[in-house]
Amino acid sequence: MRRHPGLHVGGKTALLWRGIRHNVTVRETITLWDEQRALLSSWFTDRLESVYQTTPLFDAQMPSDDDLQPWPGGRPEVVVSVPERALLQLLRDVGKTKTLQDSRNLVERMHNLHLPVLDKLLAHTTRIKVLRLTRFLSEKLGLPWAQVARTHSESMGGGHGDA
């Protein structure tokens, strides 16, 4: 991933790699994120099932490498979203490559998010759907970061959280 500086593991895969999981699958699809599409090596695409997202999630003021870390216990050149960023990436995929129920099953395991990190990421999130889903799921599941999600959803016109 060193050849493509913005390319990173995100969304559901980042959560799975960090121990946040609901179901165990035989062969997981790897979710990759980047700001612009890069050509992936054929050794990678021939051997691994993957989804490659290039949809912008954050505004231009947020550095593209914010809240990315080396793969825990893995190779340092493989960068992975922190759980807070992976959460927002996961919710961006609801209705496209992920179901609401699958996402909810993962979100309900996310009690220990770092509030300053989540607050910063939500402040830079440009997708109203992501803000509304973050609020809806956190309130529905009684998660400790629900107020942070509510504040950002309301600031962008997120209504009452009825997703």
Torsion over CA: 107, 108, 114, 115 (sign): positive
Backbone φ and ψ of 52, nearest 5°: -120, 110
Residue 34 falls within a domain, yes or no?
A: yes
Residue 26 falls within a domain, yes or no?
A: yes
Q: How many domains does one find in the chain? A: 1
| pLDDT score for 36 | 76
Residue 119 falls within a domain, yes or no?
A: yes
pLDDT digits (tens, 9 = 90+) for 124-144: 999 999 999 999 999 999 999
Strand order in the sheet with 8-9: 50-53, 30-33, 8-9, 79-81, 68-70
* Percentage of residues in the chain having pLDDT higher than 90: 48
pLDDT digits (tens, 9 = 90+) for 6-54: 888 899 988 988 887 666 565 678 888 887 777 777 777 777 777 788 8
Structure tokens given for 117: 């990190």
Q: What is the widest separation between alpha-carbon atoms in the chain?
A: 47
Of 1 and 93, the structure prediction assigns the larger pLDDT to 93
| pLDDT score for 22 | 65
Residue 151 and residue 80: Cα distance in Å, rounded?
27
Global confidence as pTM:
0.85
Full residue range of the structural domain in which residue 32 is found: 8-155
Q: Is the pLDDT of residue 162 over 70?
A: no
| pLDDT score for 91 | 96
| pLDDT score for 123 | 96
Residue 3 falls within a domain, yes or no?
A: no
| pLDDT score for 1 | 46
Residue 58 and residue 125: Cα distance in Å, rounded?
4
Q: In which band, very low, low, confident or very high, does the pLDDT at 78 lie, cut at 50, 70 and 90? A: confident
Residue 137 and residue 122: Cα distance in Å, rounded?
14
Residue 20 and residue 14: Cα distance in Å, rounded?
9
Residue 162 falls within a domain, yes or no?
A: no
Mean pLDDT along residues 53-79 = 85
Residue 2 falls within a domain, yes or no?
A: no
Angle, helix 146-155 to helix 115-124, in steps of 10 degrees: 20
